[in-house]
C-alpha cells in the first residue's frame, strides 16, 4: 500500500545552460551535457555546445580576440561573456556567408507564445509531431519502469516519492540520450529509441524549470515570474501540468498517470505511471503476449516514505491493482479515492 507521506527533495541545480541560442547562468558549476565543470574554452569545444556550432565558435574565439585580449576577457568578464561574444560573432559570420552567396540569412523560427488550451502550458513546450509524442511516451515509461527493476541501491536518491518519480522520468525523457546520458543514468535501452527533436532538456525555452506551479493560462511573462519551477508535488503536477481524461482505466495509454486522493493521510495525493506493455520484459515473453488484451499492462510507482524508512519502487500488473486488497487503491469509477487517468499537457491535442 502506498504510504502517507511525500518529502520534498533538495532543489536540483544546473550549470550554464544554452537555451534558444542564448547563454544563461544558473547556480551549479556543471556542464549541461557532460557533468564536468566548465573551466576553459576547451569545454566549449568539447560537447557543451551543439555540434553544428562547435567549429564556428572555435573560429570566432580565435579570430575575434587577440591572445592577450582573450586572456583579459576571460579573467575580467568570465567564460559566459566570452562564449556569448563568440555566438554573436558566429551569427555575423553566418549572415556574411549567406550574403556572399546572394541569399538572406535564415530567420530564427518565431517563438509560439500561445496557449491554445488555456491550461498554463505554452504551445512552444507541446510535442506536436507524432514522432516526438511517441518518443516521449516510450522514454518516459522505459525510464520509470527501470527504476522498479534495478537494485534499490541503484535508484537515484532524488526519487523518494511518487511525484519525484514523475519529475525524474519526465525530465530525462526530454533529454538527448547519448553516451553521456547512458553513463550518467546507467540505463541502456533494450532497443534503439530516438530522442525527441523539438527541444532537449535542459536547453528548453523554459530552461530547467519545466513544471508549472501557478494556475491560469500561460502568459509570456510567466517565463521569468516564477510560474514554472524545477520542483512540483503530486497535486501541482496533477492540477497544472496534466489534464483529466477519464475515470475509466481503459482509456489509459503508456505514459499516462493515475492519481489518487487518500483523505486520511498527511500527504493525500498519490500517483502511478501507466506503463502498458513492458519494454524491458514480459512474464510470458513478448512473442507469446496477447495483443491489446491488457493482460500485460503494468504500472509503476514509488511508495514514498514508509514509517522511518525511505520507501520503495513498486511494479505491478493492472489486473493485480484492480483486485488490490484495499479497495481504495483500485482504479475503478466507483472508488471515490481514484481521481482518474490524466495525461501530460505537452501531449495535449495528440488524441
> Does some domain include residue 4?
no
The model's pLDDT over 153-208, given as tens digits with 9 standing for 90+, comes to 999 999 999 999 999 999 999 999 999 999 999 999 998 999 999 999 999 889 99
**Are residue 76 and residue 151 in the same domain, yes or no?**
no
Q: In what order do the strands lie in the sheet with 269-277?
A: 242-246, 338-344, 257-261, 269-277, 297-302, 313-317
Question: 14 falls in which pLDDT band (50, 70, 90)?
Answer: very low
Inside any domain, residue 298: yes
Mean pLDDT of 287-299: 61
Q: Provide the pLDDT for residue 124.
A: 95
How many C-alpha atoms does 351 have within 13 Å on its Cβ side?
12
**Which range has highest mean pLDDT (4-18, 60-74, 92-106, 243-257)?**
243-257
Q: Is residue 113 part of a domain?
A: no
pLDDT at 152 over 50: yes
Q: What is the C-alpha to C-alpha distance for residues 113 and 22, in angstroms, rounded to an integer?
A: 18
Condensed to tens digits (0 to 9), the pLDDT of residues 234-274 reads 999 999 999 999 999 999 999 999 999 987 766 789 999 99
- Alpha helices by DSSP H, listed for 179-260, are 179-185, 234-241
Report the DSSP beta bridge partners of residue 277. Answer: 297
pLDDT value of residue 9 = 38
The size of the chain, in residues, is 351
Cell triple for residue 86?
A: 563568440
* Pair 96, 143 in one domain: no
Q: In this predicted structure, what is the pLDDT of residue 2? A: 53
Residue 109 maps to a domain: no
Contacts of 159 (CB under 8 A, 6+ apart): 147, 165, 168, 302, 313
Together in a domain, 96 and 134: no
Cβ neighbours, 10 Å, residue 4: 17
Inside any domain, residue 107? no
* pLDDT at residue 54 is higher than 70: no
Q: How many CA atoms lie within 13 A of 283 on its CB side?
A: 7
Same domain, yes or no: 139 and 88: no
CB atoms within 10 A of CB 219: 13
Q: 92 is in which domain, residue-wise? A: 21-100
Phi, psi of 297 (to 5 degrees): -80, 130
Looking at residue 347, the DSSP 8-state letter turns out to be G
The CA distance from 64 to 67, in Å, is: 10
More confident residue, 231 or 76: 231
Q: How far is it, in rounded angstroms, from Cα 174 to Cα 199?
A: 8
Residue 299 lies in a domain: yes
Burial of 68 (0-12, 13-18, 19+ CB in 10 A): exposed
Q: Do 297 and 183 reside in the same domain of the chain?
A: yes
Give me 320's grid cell: 493485480
> What sign results for the dihedral spanned by CA atoms 158, 164, 167, 172?
positive
Inside any domain, residue 6? no
Per-residue pLDDT, averaged over 81-96, amounts to 39
Through-space distance between the first and last CA atoms of the chain, rounded to whole angstroms: 32
Cis peptide bond upstream of 202, omega within 30: yes
Opening angle at CA 344, ends 339 and 345, nearest 5: 115
What value does the mean pLDDT take over residues 88-113?
Answer: 50
In a shared domain, residues 154 and 36: no
pLDDT interval class at 215 (50, 70, 90): very high
Give the percent of the chain with pLDDT over 70: 63
Asked, for residue 110, whether it belongs to a domain, the answer is no
Residues 6+ apart with CB under 8 A from 140: 169, 170, 173, 254, 255, 273
Pick the closest to residue 216 from 124, 118, 345, 115 (CA basis): 118
What mean pLDDT, rounded, does the chain reach? 75
Are 192 and 70 found together in one domain?
no
The more confidently predicted of residues 215 and 111 is 215
Same structural domain, 189 and 300: yes
pLDDT at 349 over 90: no
Q: Are residues 40 and 154 in the same domain?
A: no
- Tally of CB atoms within 10 A around 262: 18
User: What does DSSP assign to residue 330?
Assistant: S
Structure confidence at residue 295 (pLDDT): 67
| Predicted pLDDT of residue 266 | 66
Q: How many domains does the chain have?
A: 2
Nearest Cα to Cα of residue 50 among 203, 194, 208, 206: 203
Question: Are 174 and 266 part of one and the same domain?
Answer: yes
Of 82, 100, 118, the last residue of a domain is 100
61 and 134 housed in the same domain: no
pLDDT band at 294 (very low <50, low <70, confident <90, very high): low
Query: Burial, 305: exposed, middle or buried (Cβ in 10 Å; 0-12, 13-18, 19+)?
Result: middle
Pair 162, 290 in one domain: yes
- Report how far residue 50's alpha carbon sits from residue 200's, in angstroms, rounded to the nearest whole number: 11
C-alpha to C-alpha distance for 297 and 274, rounded to whole angstroms = 8
The pLDDT of residue 289:
39
Distance CA 17, CA 28 (A): 10
* CA nearest neighbour of 336 among 264, 287, 277: 264
The secondary structure element, H or E, covering residue 242 is: strand 242-246
Amino acid at each position: 500500500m502506498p504510504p502517507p507521506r511525500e518529502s520534498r527533495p533538495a532543489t536540483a541545480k544546473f550549470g550554464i545552460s544554452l537555451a534558444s541560442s542564448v547563454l544563461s547562468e544558473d547556480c551549479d558549476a556543471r556542464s549541461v551535457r557532460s557533468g564536468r565543470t566548465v573551466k576553459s574554452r576547451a569545454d566549449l569545444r568539447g560537447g557543451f555546445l551543439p555540434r553544428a556550432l562547435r567549429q564556428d565558435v572555435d573560429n570566432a574565439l580565435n579570430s575575434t580576440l587577440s591572445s592577450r585580449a582573450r586572456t583579459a576577457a576571460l579573467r575580467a568578464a568570465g567564460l559566459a561573456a566570452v562564449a556569448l561574444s563568440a555566438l554573436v560573432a558566429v551569427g555575423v559570420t553566418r549572415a556574411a556567408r549567406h550574403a556572399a552567396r546572394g541569399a538572406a540569412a535564415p530567420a530564427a523560427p518565431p517563438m509560439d507564445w500561445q496557449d491554445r488550451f488555456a491550461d498554463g502550458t505554452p504551445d512552444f513546450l507541446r510535442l506536436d509531431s507524432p514522432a516526438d509524442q511517441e518518443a516521449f511516451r516510450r522514454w518516459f515509461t522505459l525510464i520509470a519502469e527501470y527504476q522498479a527493476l534495478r537494485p534499490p541501491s541503484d535508484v537515484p536518491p532524488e526519487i523518494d516519492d511518487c511525484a519525484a518519480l514523475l519529475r525524474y522520468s519526465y525530465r530525462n525523457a526530454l533529454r538527448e540520450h547519448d553516451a553521456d546520458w547512458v553513463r550518467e543514468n546507467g540505463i541502456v535501452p533494450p532497443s534503439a529509441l530516438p530522442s525527441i527533436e523539438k527541444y532537449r532538456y535542459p536547453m528548453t525555452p523554459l530552461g530547467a524549470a519545466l513544471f508549472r506551479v501557478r494556475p491560469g493560462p500561460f502568459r509570456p511573462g510567466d517565463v521569468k515570474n516564477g510560474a514554472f519551477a524545477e520542483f512540483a508535488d503530486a497535486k501541482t503536477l496533477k492540477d497544472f501540468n496534466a489534464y483529466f481524461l477519464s475515470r475509466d482505466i481503459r482509456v489509459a495509454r503508456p505514459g499516462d498517470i493515475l492519481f489518487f486522493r487518500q483523505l486520511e493521510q498527511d500527504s493525500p495525493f498519490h500517483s502511478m505511471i501507466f506503463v502498458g506493455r513492458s519494454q524491458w520484459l514480459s512474464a510470458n515473453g513478448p512473442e507469446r503476449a496477447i495483443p491489446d488484451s491488457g493482460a500485460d499492462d503494468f504500472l509503476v510507482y514509488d511508495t514514498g516514505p514508509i514509517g522511518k524508512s525511505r520507501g520503495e519502487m513498486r511494479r505491478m500488473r493492472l489486473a493485480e491493482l484492480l483486485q488490490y486488497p484495499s479497495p481504495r487503491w483500485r482504479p475503478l469509477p466507483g472508488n471515490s479515492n481514484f481521481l482518474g487517468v490524466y495525461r501530460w499537457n505537452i501531449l495535449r491535442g495528440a488524441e
